[in-house]
Structure 1
Amino acid sequence: MANVTAYAAPQAKAPLELTTVPRRPVGEHDVLIEIAYAGICHSDIHQVNEDWGTATFPMVPGHEIAGIVSEVGPGVTRYAVGDRVGVGCFVDSCRECVNCEAGEEQYCLGGMVGTYNGTGRDGGPTYGGYSTHIVVDENYVLGIPEGIGLDEAAPLLCAGITLYSPLKHWNAGPGKRVAIVGLGGLGHMGVKIAHALGAEVTVLSQSLAKQADGLKLGADHFHATGDPATFGKLAGSFDLIVNTVSANIDLNAYLGLLATDGTLVNVGAPEEPSPVAMFALIGGRKSLAGSMIGGIRETQEMLDFCAAHGLGAEIEVISGGQINEAYRRIQASDVRYRFVIDIATLNS
């Protein structure tokens, strides 16, 4: 077992600091990845702050990982030294339940093993991508195609698949009217992917401040939800709405924007429950749903799709010493649209 340089939160709500964490030896089917870039996800902040329950510390966040294979175990067949690869939100699962067998490991009935703040099969804690290296079973590693930079690819491992999965599942494409609620780290990828799938895309944002960005990213329409008239004007307009906001919104109002048989899918995770009036669903045979990332097979499909369409995240690359400031800026909505850590700078 070797120690690697990393940024970790020593305890809940504490600033992240430079440290070292152990990595297991490369096993029979393991891949050692030299991490080049790690995206910062809003869920990293939630977990450091224990917003979603008791966490394990020290915590090395990061589940948007892109890098290069530097060593493989003797039984590895999928990857070779020098390959461009990524790691997303989980690094293992039971591999036996109906969901794992169906390629839906994110819904593993035994519980997927998180890339960080999880417990590995060896009983030890998992540490994420704010580090120089990571060891992962080859079955949970993704190939990053040529044609997309590792820096702009890193956020696809969470933000990209979080939007791709529901858009594909609910058949976004030609003839479908899709609305993306929120134009942030998740939402901006939703706009890009929905547009590439051929859907008519609308952004629903609190104000018109990001309208130019939304249209440039591929939206056909942009509306301010801070204007109450918007909800009357757009009533019954959408077949699919994907809500990326991690704060509570008036779900009943947004359900009113759906056409008959429309679906409102939530991918954001507010800390508090959201009330829903049953009549908002009954009138129009509407559905309220949720979606969480994707399995390994679908994540690889997403990466291939994004590379084929020239889609990467809109990023601001930062050094390791800027991580805590980036956290503050994310909470102030001061990023367009994803921070990515240049891991070569962890010591700076």
Structure 2
Amino acid sequence: MNHTTVPAYAAPSPKAPLERITVPRRAPGEHDILIEIKYAGICHSDLHTVRGEWGDDGNFPIVPGHEIAGVVAAVGSGVTRYAVGDRVGVGCFVDSCRTCENCLAGLQQYCTGELGMVGTYGATGRDGQVTYGGYSTHIVVDENYALRIPDSIPLDAAAPLLCAGITLYSPLAHWKAGPGKKVAIVGLGGLGHMGVKIAHAMGAEVTVLSQSLRKKDDGLRLGAAHFHATSDPATFEALAGTFDLIVNTVSADVDLDAYLGLLRTGGTLVQVGAPEKPLPISPFALITQRKSFAGSMIGGIPETQEMLDFCGKHGLGADIELIRADQINEAYERVLASDVRYRFVIDTATI
């Protein structure tokens, strides 16, 4: 089944509503696979990008979507990793230089080569063509940049794992969340709810730090042992010096010094949310108890596969609300209003 153009939903310009268009897809090369996309998650990064909030006008029109779950529809002559009918996913990037130190170490998301990490949408690939994301019916990717989705995870619940899942799994694994560790997740949204599930499955004692107690029942259901409101100053007094690891998922201004105060000696606060403006931090919040402030961004191909296998083993998927393609603009407004529990997923059969 050869495709030269496929239907998709795109933002024609910054801040413009998304609309249905057609976009080109290359014919599968020797090592490419053609994926029939079944579901695509809506990530907050999609909103930031199409609204021009990260300071880059990008390659408009932009077809967002880097939480992709589907089925292999065709394979190139040299493909060895996948066969037609396999359940596969595509995450936040579709290529990298493949030769730099990070790529060779399986850390393609930190590629330092000339090509750099090629984003799934709005980037320029090695063929000089703009990449178009998962809000479409099909995508062609190199087999080495696709992931195998375990049979135990429904495809619609698996799609958000390709960004939200790995974004939380990577820091939790790197900083060794597990039995005996106290982990706090800041924010119970698309990222945060996966952080609670994964940290709990790793064996850590999980606390949710949310603006209010509105989602407390959900947090406890997802695996948190404790739930506290950050709007209450008493929370920061009661929990001072408590946590080994805090993962901040929110993309808004927060008082980093206050959150650093919740860490034990030697603890780490990891930033995975990407706010529009810089966040101030006091050196004294770090040096007085040998605390660390760190960042983390998605994961490489090996770690993303590890995450999917972990989620498959533990029966983890995202909590989703399935929508039609003609509801994308409405869903964007609801994401901005934090009115989703906890990830919108597009049924791409409706595009």
What interval of TM-score do these two structures reach, taking the shorter chain for normalisation? over 0.9
Tell me, yes or no, if structure 1 residue 246 matches structure 2 residue 257. Answer: no
1 CA distance for matches of 2:332 and 2:84? 33
Bigger mean CA offset, 51-60 vs 14-23: 51-60
Tell me, yes or no, if structure 1 residue 279 matches structure 2 residue 284. Answer: yes
Q: Post-superposition shift, 1:54? A: 2.1
2 CA distance for matches of 1:131 and 1:277? 45
The residue that corresponds to 1:206 in the other structure is: 211
Structure 1 stretches of 4+ with a deviation exceeding 6 A read none
Which SS does the other structure have where 1:263 is aligned? strand
Aligned residues: 346
Across the aligned residues of Structure 1 and Structure 2, the Cα RMSD in angstroms comes to: 0.5
Tell me, yes or no, if structure 1 residue 170 matches structure 2 residue 175. Answer: yes
Structure 2 letter corresponding to 1:48: V
Among 293, 297, 304, which residue is 2:298 paired with? Answer: 293
Bigger mean CA offset, 51-60 vs 83-92: 51-60
Among 71, 76, 80, which residue is 1:68 paired with? Answer: 71
The residue that corresponds to 1:155 in the other structure is: 160
Structure 2 letter corresponding to 1:255: L
Structure 1 letter corresponding to 2:42: I
Structure 1 letter corresponding to 2:294: A
Among 45, 66, 91, which residue is 2:94 paired with? Answer: 91
1:81-120 to 2 correspondences below 5 Å: 81-110=84-113, 111-120=116-125
Deviations 1:307-335 (A, max 9, x none): 10000000000000000000000000000
Flag structure 1 segments of 5+ consecutive residues without an equivalent. none
Q: Post-superposition shift, 1:248? A: 1.2
1:189-200 to 2 correspondences below 5 Å: 189-200=194-205
1 CA distance for matches of 2:255 and 2:67? 30
2 CA distance for matches of 1:332 and 1:200? 29
1 CA distance for matches of 2:23 and 2:281? 44
The residue that corresponds to 1:58 in the other structure is: 61
Among 4, 16, 19, which residue is 2:18 paired with? Answer: 16
Structure 2 letter corresponding to 1:86: G
The residue that corresponds to 1:339 in the other structure is: 344
Structure 1 letter corresponding to 2:26: R
Q: Post-superposition shift, 1:339? A: 0.1
Structure 1 letter corresponding to 2:28: V
Structure 1 letter corresponding to 2:53: D
2 CA distance for matches of 1:158 and 1:75? 28
The residue that corresponds to 2:261 in the other structure is: 256
1 CA distance for matches of 2:14 and 2:165? 28
1:220-235 to 2 correspondences below 5 Å: 220-235=225-240
Which SS does the other structure have where 1:145 is aligned? coil
1:301-340 to 2 correspondences below 5 Å: 301-340=306-345
Q: Post-superposition shift, 1:283? A: 1.1
| TM-score with structure 1 setting the length | 0.99
Q: Post-superposition shift, 1:63? A: 0.1
Bigger mean CA offset, 300-309 vs 46-55: 46-55
Deviations 1:255-293 (A, max 9, x none): 000000000000000101111000000111000000000
Deviations 1:163-206 (A, max 9, x none): 00000000000000000000000000000000000000000000
The residue that corresponds to 1:25 in the other structure is: 27
Which SS does the other structure have where 2:267 is aligned? strand
Bigger mean CA offset, 50-59 vs 61-70: 50-59
2 CA distance for matches of 1:284 and 1:220? 26
2 CA distance for matches of 1:206 and 1:283? 27
Deviations 1:92-121 (A, max 9, x none): 000000000000000000220000010011
1:176-187 to 2 correspondences below 5 Å: 176-187=181-192
2 CA distance for matches of 1:306 and 1:292? 19
Which SS does the other structure have where 1:297 is aligned? helix
1 CA distance for matches of 2:338 and 2:107? 32
Which SS does the other structure have where 1:280 is aligned? helix
Tell me, yes or no, if structure 1 residue 135 matches structure 2 residue 137. Answer: no
| TM-score with structure 2 setting the length | 0.98
Q: Post-superposition shift, 1:7? A: 0.3
State the identity %: 76
Structure 1 letter corresponding to 2:264: A
